[in-house]
Structure 1
């Protein structure tokens, strides 16, 4: 591995430094700087990032837990590849957990302030979608607001257990709510798909407000199907395979 700019050393080599290394390595994997199947060792990362071994070891273990790396019997780690089914299953799992979250929210009830917060997030998305075409900045804003809304779903449930599970599931490779939004940004159907997704957002919030748990859960399960459709389209478009944003090179068709 060639040397690159060192990450800044913190006063402690614990959590914050580990997170920095974890984010940097994830970025390098998705950008193709660490290719699928490439062997990664602690010493090589020390040389490349200029960080001591303690946070690097912890970051590599976390990336293995996320599923981006696999530990080798000979030592070190390797960048994983994923089948289309692997990714579809992760998206399905997120939809299942989110469905449970909104069903519990509807059954248990949600405070007006939290409902208003979620509605304000969707209002901001509506403003973005008023444009007939979306530029890169608009798509970036959508990704941020979409992540914010999906993050609120756990809070709507009132369950700390579900909030933790949603965070865990969302960190699985390619399973985040906007995992395939940016890669579709330049397609003619991009805005149309976001409009459909936004309507589902509105419908699930309405179902929660009306205390219709089964309806809310069904909508979120269907919402995950839209993400799976984006996945299928992305895998089958050869011009997207080199997209560095979502690491399409790591996904192989079934």
Structure 2
């Protein structure tokens, strides 16, 4: 997002945080209602354009959204959406993307309240690894000719009761309503949002053998010092790493042995 849309989303994220700081607000229910609004505006292109028309007064657009959503969602959700449509948007699609992001953040907040955010982060990562290694499964989940009901049923058979309920909701929404994204890109985006809930970055760590607890702690501490932020490690094992380690943080890839990398981090911190 650029310009006005980026600012509008930042403001909406602040309002959402303020709402969900109040424990009387059901973050999970809020997420479901925001997801429903996302589906509505994704489907109704003309409505989306009206609600983002810069020539229309913000209050008039908020009133229209209130009339459309009245009785369909809670007052909390309606107020949040009204605030969104009062804002200016660079593109009409950005409004829908933002509401969808808020829905995901609200679900992740529900997991955080229940002290289950670590589980959700790890499950999203593992699900991504499973999909990337199974071409038939990926095809079944992404084929445009397959309806949402069969995809939902397939996901229930795969992760229903085996994963956190928040993980299941996030993955199901992504698979059944990808909105032009690849499954991999959608999962990566969700992982980043989960990490942001604790102001942490995500490091994908691939090693030839499983890391010991001591190695994980040392690596996590070294990366946190290097990047200046808390770090969540998504761990994967690949024998082709040849005894070393590969770390990816965002677009940056670090290759080398654990000892070599830690020594390099120490040198950089000392300089």
* TM-score normalized with structure 1 length: 0.30
Larger radius of gyration: 2
Structure number with greater CO (CA < 8 Å, separation at least 6) is 1
Task: Considering fraction of residues, name the structure with more strand.
Answer: 2
